[in-house]
């Protein structure tokens, strides 16, 4: 899809980390800070690579805004849920993961990926809830859904942007 390029190497790097996060969160319901910080720091540093595809990987401003929005959006959801239900609904590992995603792929990606991750989670979790296999109080790792949402976003980026009539930056 991307041929052999710096972009391909960066995607291999990112998805290697995603693969580890996917299975750790799936089994232990935690996203290690060390992996999130690697994504965050590398997402910031990629802004200084010359000649990087700015459609695939965001420019510096979009990257910084994406990191802030990615973290802030999930942080806000966590705080709102805590205030409404008086229990923890999601961990900050998900917020840090979205910060890294925002830094890598820009602020536009964050909104699309959270939407895709939520829809994918709903499709997988809703039948289990209806059949009584899990209850609303069960822990559900959201990191794997975020990662799948990010993969779907990357594969169908052109189609998503065309469908939503979002100008390509």
Q: What pLDDT sits at residue 75?
A: 95
Specify the pTM: 0.90
Domain residue extents for the chain: 6-164
Tell me the residue length of the chain: 169
Write the Ramachandran bin of 154: left for phi over 0, alpha for psi from -120 to 50, otherwise beta. Answer: alpha
The contacts of residue 19 (CB under 8 Å, 6+ apart) are none
Report whether 73 contacts 48 (CB < 8 A).
no
74-117: per-residue pLDDT in tens? Answer: 999 999 999 998 888 788 999 999 999 999 999 999 999 999 99
Report whether 97 contacts 39 (CB < 8 A).
yes
CA distance linking residue 57 with residue 52, whole number of Å = 7
124-161: per-residue pLDDT in tens? Answer: 999 988 888 888 778 889 999 999 999 999 999 888 88
């Amino acid at each position: 899809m991307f041929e052999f390029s710096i972009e391909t190497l960066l995607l291999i790097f990112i998805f290697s980390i995603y693969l580890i996060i996917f299975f750790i969160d799936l089994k232990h319901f935690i996203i290690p800070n060390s992996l999130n910080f690697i994504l965050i720091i590398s997402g910031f540093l990629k802004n200084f690579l010359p000649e990087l595809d700015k459609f695939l990987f965001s420019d510096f401003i979009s990257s910084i805004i994406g990191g802030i929005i990615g973290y802030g959006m999930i942080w806000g959801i966590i705080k709102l849920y805590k205030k409404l239900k008086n229990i923890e609904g999601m961990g900050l590992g998900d917020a840090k993961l979205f910060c890294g995603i925002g830094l890598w792929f820009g602020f536009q990606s964050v909104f699309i990926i959270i939407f895709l991750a939520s829809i994918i989670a709903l499709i997988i979790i809703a039948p289990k809830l209806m059949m009584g296999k899990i209850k609303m109080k069960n822990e559900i790792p959201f990191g794997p859904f975020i990662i799948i949402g990010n993969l779907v976003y990357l594969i169908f980026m052109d189609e998503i942007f065309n469908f939503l009539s979002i100008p390509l930056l």
